[in-house]
């Protein structure tokens, strides 16, 4: 046995606190008192002879050593959980899903009743996340992500090839015909701001007319979901993704002011840790998502 071998309860307390950055929320999740969580982490820090958290007035933050330790133990904890699920009589009937907010609201939730009807014994726990969050920071069984298929330590399956194009409320243009991207100057442009997803307006402009076009008025939003909702409510013209706006185009809450769509390399994909691939609940949800959204 290695010299620095912690108790499993201490590791669970550390991981939960690191995920929530809160002793209180970790205690609620693990059905312990805040004092018990604090003692377990202090014992762990004493064993490792290093400080894992910075205690602050507004909460806690991981130290550099704490972050490094978290990244190292998370796969091990996931493997223990997956192994336990595989041999458990209940087969781990709670499926924890993380999903980008826009996809969760526009695509997953309207269809999720189909999966629940087919598998009523699987309890769903769905956590919406933003595009700036990192998938490997969440203790989930499976997730739906956007971008390149490069999540290290995960198995990844592309859902579909996507297209982007401007969308807006029919009331916004009220019969006005937009014949060239230059006409966008008459309207407010809605941008989705994210450090990991490229703004697709410049690429679409180049694709549509091969010349620069400047905008007079803009609004920016943190995440595509808010930008799309702003478009539905007539605040301006947004760059939509086909996967997210199909239903809105069908029910006429959004329209395409142009007829030019641009194919893109990035897209939505379903991802899960390699060690969870054989869990029945993961396999069933993966197969359903791929059949439903591919």
Three state DSSP letters for the chain: CCCCCCCHHHHHHHHHHHHHCCHHHHHHHHCCCHHHHHHHHHHHHHHHCCCCEEEECCEEEECHHHHHHHHHHHHHHHHHHHHHHHHCCCCCCEEEEEEEHHHHHHHHHHHHHHHHHHCCCCEEEEEEECCCCCHHHCCCCEEEEEECCCCCCEEEEECCCEEEEEEECHHHHCCCCCCCHHHHHHCEEEEEECCCCCCCHHHHHHHHHCCCCCCCEEEEEECHHHHHHHHHCCCCEEEEEHHHHHHHHHCCCCECCCCCCEEECCEEEEEEEHHHCCCHHHHHHHHHHHHHHC
Q: State the residue range of the domain holding 141.
A: 94-161+267-293
* Domain presence at residue 2: no
Domain check: are 224 and 240 in the same one?
Answer: yes
Domain check: are 140 and 14 in the same one?
Answer: no
Q: Are 241 and 197 in contact (CB under 8 A)?
A: no
* Domain presence at residue 27: yes
Domain check: are 98 and 76 in the same one?
Answer: no
Tokens 């609004």 correspond to 219
Q: Tell me how far apart the alpha carbons of residues 130 and 125 are, in angstroms, rounded to a whole number.
A: 17
* Domain presence at residue 282: yes
What is the number of domains present in the chain? Answer: 3
Domain check: are 170 and 123 in the same one?
Answer: no
Domain check: are 131 and 82 in the same one?
Answer: no
Among 42, 58, 87, residue at a domain's last position: 87
CA–CA–CA angle 49, 41, 32 (5° rounding)? 165
Domain check: are 29 and 65 in the same one?
Answer: yes
CATH code of residue 134: 3.40.190.10
pLDDT for 91 equals: 47
CATH code of residue 79: 1.10.10.10
Q: Are 120 and 284 in contact (CB under 8 A)?
A: no
Q: Which long-range contacts (CB under 8 A, 24 or more apart) does 85-88 make?
A: 85/279, 85/281, 86/278, 86/279
Mind listing the pLDDT tens digit of every residue in the chain (294 residues)?
566 688 999 999 999 999 888 888 899 888 899 999 999 999 999 999 999 999 887 778 999 999 999 988 988 888 887 677 666 544 457 899 999 888 999 899 999 999 999 999 999 989 888 755 555 545 689 999 887 556 667 888 988 778 999 999 999 998 888 989 999 999 999 998 765 566 789 999 999 998 888 898 999 988 788 999 999 999 999 999 998 999 999 999 999 999 899 998 878 889 998 888 889 999 999 999 999 988
Domain check: are 168 and 259 in the same one?
Answer: yes
For residues 229, 160, 131 and 277, what is the CA-based torsion angle, rounded to 10 degrees? 130
Among 72, 87, 102, residue at a domain's last position: 87
pLDDT for 114 equals: 96
* Domain presence at residue 3: no
pLDDT for 139 equals: 67
CA–centroid distance for 270 within its chain: 10
Domain check: are 68 and 195 in the same one?
Answer: no
The set of residues, in sequence order, having a beta carbon less than 8 Å from that of 231 and lying 6+ positions away, is: 167, 168, 169, 190, 237, 238, 240, 254
How many CB atoms lie under 10 A from the CB of residue 221?
A: 18
* Domain presence at residue 289: yes
Among 54, 87, 120, residue at a domain's last position: 87
* Domain presence at residue 1: no
Domain check: are 17 and 139 in the same one?
Answer: no
pLDDT for 148 equals: 59
Q: Tell me how far apart the alpha carbons of residues 79 and 64 are, in angstroms, rounded to a whole number.
A: 24
Domain check: are 168 and 257 in the same one?
Answer: yes
* Domain presence at residue 194: yes
Predicted TM-score of the model (pTM)? 0.63
Q: Tell me how far apart the alpha carbons of residues 10 and 6 are, in angstroms, rounded to a whole number.
A: 7
Domain check: are 185 and 143 in the same one?
Answer: no
Domain check: are 81 and 99 in the same one?
Answer: no
């Amino acid at each position: 046995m290695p010299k620095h071998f912690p108790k499993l309860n201490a590791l669970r307390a550390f991981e939960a606190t690191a995920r929530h950055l809160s002793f209180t929320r970790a205690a609620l999740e693990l059905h312990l008192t805040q004092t018990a969580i604090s003692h377990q982490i202090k014992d762990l820090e004493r064993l490792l002879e290093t400080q894992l958290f910075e205690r602050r007035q507004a909460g806690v933050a991981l130290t550099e050593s704490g972050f490094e330790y978290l990244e190292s133990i998370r796969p091990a904890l996931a493997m223990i959980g997956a192994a336990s699920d595989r041999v458990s009589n209940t087969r781990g009937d709670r499926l924890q899903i993380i999903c980008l907010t826009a996809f969760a609201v526009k695509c997953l939730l309207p269809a999720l009743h189909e999966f629940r009807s087919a598998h009523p014994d699987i309890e769903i726990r769905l956590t919406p996340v933003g595009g700036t969050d990192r998938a490997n920071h969440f203790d989930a069984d499976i997730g739906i992500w956007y971008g390149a298929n490069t999540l290290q330590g995960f198995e990844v399956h592309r859902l579909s090839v996507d297209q982007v194009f401007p969308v807006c409320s029919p009331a916004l243009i009220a019969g006005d015909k937009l014949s060239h991207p230059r006409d966008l100057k008459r309207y407010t442009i809605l941008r989705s701001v994210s450090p990991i997803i490229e703004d697709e307006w410049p690429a679409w402009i180049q694709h549509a007319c091969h010349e620069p076009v400047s905008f007079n008025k803009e609004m920016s939003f943190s995440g595509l979901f808010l930008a799309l909702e702003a478009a539905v409510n007539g605040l301006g013209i947004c760059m939509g993704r086909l996967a997210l706006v199909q239903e809105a185009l069908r029910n006429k809450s959004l329209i395409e002011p142009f007829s030019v769509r641009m194919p893109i390399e990035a897209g939505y994909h379903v991802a899960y840790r390699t060690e969870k691939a054989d869990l029945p609940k993961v396999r069933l949800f993966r197969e359903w998502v791929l059949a439903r959204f591919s």
